[in-house]
Amino acid sequence: MIRLFVPDALGEGGLIRPTTEQAHYLLNVMRQSQGDVVLVFNGLDGEWRATLTEVTKRGCALRLDEVTRPQAAGPDLDLIVALVKRARLETIVEKAAELGARRVRLAVTRFTGADHTNVARLQAIATEASEQTGRLDVPEVVAPVKLDRLLDGWEAGRRLVFCDEAGDAKPIIQALRDEAPCAVLIGPEGGFAPEERERLRGLPFVVPVSLGPRILRADTAAISALTLVQAAIGDWR
């Protein structure tokens, strides 16, 4: 069934007016008509069954009928990824949403291979992936910041799982034993600079881990790490 993410509060009998883009998708792409049923969610009020009640040249409206799933919190899991080329970054954001990341934070490192990105487009990709995969929320995509600044303002109580390609860290499955909130850090295609790696290794909240004997591309590393975290301490168990 078609699912839409909406910003509106959701409650029985409420009326939702989809955006122009969503109305076009419903009416012209998916060929929905008055009386058809879709699912909507907003990340706060669960998932609702809604009936298409109005169809005009300017758009459409959805009447909220009943809740189909109550809101539930996913794992407290962030992905931090250094900026890479657009296509790979878009893949990372899409897969992070599919794999259950709560937030995607973009970082600028010494060897970052890109100096800008379209955060709004990445957020749209995360939203579409959440709609298609049955999530009850959408991960936030956070604008890029320098790695040093990110580490300086680190959230107390959250571990940083540092995917260290040097190969002298524990395998990620062995390193993760408890369910404390965590973030996964993936470096750029050129890897971390020596001074960045040294700082990361010296921080008490950092857990260095290995993703195996091969050097992985950033998108492969991100997908692999999120999969292993979900299998070890997330909602895949």
Same domain, 91 and 174: yes
Alpha-carbon gap, residue 80 to 146, rounded angstroms = 11
- What pLDDT sits at residue 115? 65
- What pLDDT sits at residue 167? 65
State the residue for tokens 């998108």.
219
Q: Torsion angle of alpha carbons 85, 228, 178, 77, nearest 10°? A: 40
Q: How many domains does the chain have?
A: 2
Same domain, 187 and 116: yes
Which mean pLDDT values do the consecutive 10-residue runs of the chain (237 residues) have?
96 94 94 96 97 90 97 93 94 97 96 83 98 96 96 95 81 78 92 94 94 90 94 83
Alpha-carbon gap, residue 34 to 54, rounded angstroms = 6
Same domain, 158 and 219: yes
Domain extent, residue 109, equals: 77-233
β-bridge mates for residue 66, sequence order: 49
- What pLDDT sits at residue 160? 96
Over the stretch 183-203, which tens digit does the pLDDT of each residue have?
A: 999 999 888 999 999 999 999
Same domain, 84 and 115: yes
In a 3-state reduction of DSSP, which class is residue 230?
helix
Alpha-carbon gap, residue 36 to 62, rounded angstroms = 10
Same domain, 116 and 201: yes
Same domain, 150 and 133: yes
Which among 219, 224, 231 is positioned nearest to 92, based on CA atoms? 219
pTM of the model: 0.92
- What pLDDT sits at residue 101? 97
- What pLDDT sits at residue 125? 98
Same domain, 171 and 86: yes
Same domain, 38 and 110: no
Token pair listed for 65:
């009928």
Backbone CA torsion sign across 141, 142, 146, 150: negative
Which among 150, 149, 162, 167 is positioned nearest to 206, based on CA atoms? 162
**Whether 135 contacts 97, CB under 8 Å:** yes
- What pLDDT sits at residue 212? 87
State the residue for tokens 């078609």.
2
Domain final residue pick, 43, 69, 95: 69
- What pLDDT sits at residue 147? 96
Over the stretch 45-75, which tens digit does the pLDDT of each residue have?
A: 999 999 999 898 888 999 999 999 999 988 8
One-character DSSP codes across 93-140: HHHHHHTT-SEEEEEE-TT-S-S---HHHHHHHHHHHHHHHT-SS-PE
Alpha-carbon gap, residue 107 to 85, rounded angstroms = 13
The count of C-alpha atoms lying within 13 angstroms of the C-alpha of 126, restricted to the half-sphere facing its C-beta, is 26
